[in-house]
Amino acid sequence: MRDASAAGRVPIARPPRRKRLDIVNAMLLLVVLINILQLWLFTATVHAALGGDTDPVWPAGLASLACFGLNVGLLRYLRRLDH
C-alpha cells in the first residue's frame, strides 16, 4: 500500500461510523440528482436535435461532461473516505 503523502495527497481524517454513513447518504443523493440532470440534458438535446435545432448539442455535451466529472470526483472522495 502506498503512503498517501508520497502521492502528494493529504489523507483525510476518518470520521466516526455514523458520520461516514451520513456523508455517504448525502453523496448518494448528489449522484442521483446529477444523473437526473444528465438524463434531462440528454432528452432535451435529442428533442432539440430531432426538431432541427443543433445549437444546444455542444453546450449540453459539455455540461454532461461536467456532471460526469462531478460524479468521478465524488467517487474519488468516497474511496479516500473509506481508506
8 inside domain: no
pLDDT at residue 28, rounded to an integer: 94
27 inside domain: yes
Whether the pLDDT of residue 17 is over 80: the answer is no
Q: Tell me the per-residue pLDDT of 27-43, one tens digit each, with 9 for 90 and over.
A: 999 999 999 999 999 99
- 5-9, 25-29, 47-51, 74-78: least confidently modelled range: 5-9
34 inside domain: yes
Q: How far is CA 81 from CA 4, 43, 57, in A?
A: 12, 34, 36
pTM for this entry: 0.72
Distance CA(28)–CA(71), nearest Å, equals 10
Distance CA(70)–CA(27), nearest Å, equals 11
Supply the range of the domain harboring residue 70: 17-82
26 inside domain: yes
78 inside domain: yes
Domains in the chain, number = 1
